[in-house]
Structure 1
Amino acid sequence: MKKYYQDFVVRHWEERDRTSATNIIRSVLADYGLNWEPNGADRDVVQVEECYVAVGGEFWVIEHQNQVVGTAAYYPIKRGEKAVEIRKMYLLPKARGFGLGKYLLQQLEAAIISRGFQEIWIETASVLVEAVRLYENNGYEKASGVETARCDRVYVKKLTVTT
């Protein structure tokens, strides 16, 4: 899978992307005063094969001029009805302000719908103001039941699946 948005390339994660992906997520978290948790909330980035690929999820990287500048992912979860959780949607500052976040969210939703899922859950932190705005402006409803320690918000979106 390769998708193009302006001069960004969105593609499936490859093993060679592990260091770039972890560095991006660590950097963005630090920008917002949040901790990188390789043995906790961020274990899935260290173990993409086990946490995404093996369970039917997807992990994408976003490139600009052959450099990884962002990540986006989802995997099936047990809460909700035929549900997934969108995770690890992070963009370096130089990749922001182009509408890329909204594009990624739409592409994730399209992939999730095409696989027959009916709900999308997202956990985030209030300090990630741009992310909160993105989710709230794209049909995600506040929910309860935050499961990740550094997060204080959870959202859900019920999908309309056409057959």
Structure 2
Amino acid sequence: MDLIDRKLLRELQLDSRRSVQVLGDAVGLSASACHRRIRALEDAGFISSYVAKLDASRLGYTMQFFIEVGLTSQSEGVLEAFELAVAEIPEVLECHLMAGQSDYILRVVCRDHEDFERLHRRLSAQLPGVARIHSNLSIRTVKARTGLPL
């Protein structure tokens, strides 16, 4: 990866909907050279996908929680069962296996308090291996970045 690839990745992180011609102009390439570079970055796995970032509050998701989960065991079977089950819950946007006090931290969205109560009950009652749950309500997002520093 060279300097032009890094510039191209930065530009794509800012707005991947721009045409190849506009992206090429931004990094000093022709449209065809820019297209070849993008394809090579995709093929090499540097670009894993393209997504649309949605406005959660406009879609009714007005609450965001970070939930710390402790499991009954660290065995491979318990970890795998938990991860498979949590992957099926649409409100769970992220699930991270942690080193520290909690086994996992989940980032979830909810529409309101009743929605959160339903989700909390589902997490504590239906997820395998859950020993404890500690929920933290996000009051306001101070910084949210989807791109990586390049």
User: Structure 1 length normalisation: TM-score?
Assistant: 0.26
The structure, 1 or 2, with the larger RCO (C-alpha pairs under 8 Å, 6+ apart) is 2
Q: Please tell me whether Structure 1 or Structure 2 has the larger radius of gyration of its CA atoms.
A: 2
Higher strand share: 1
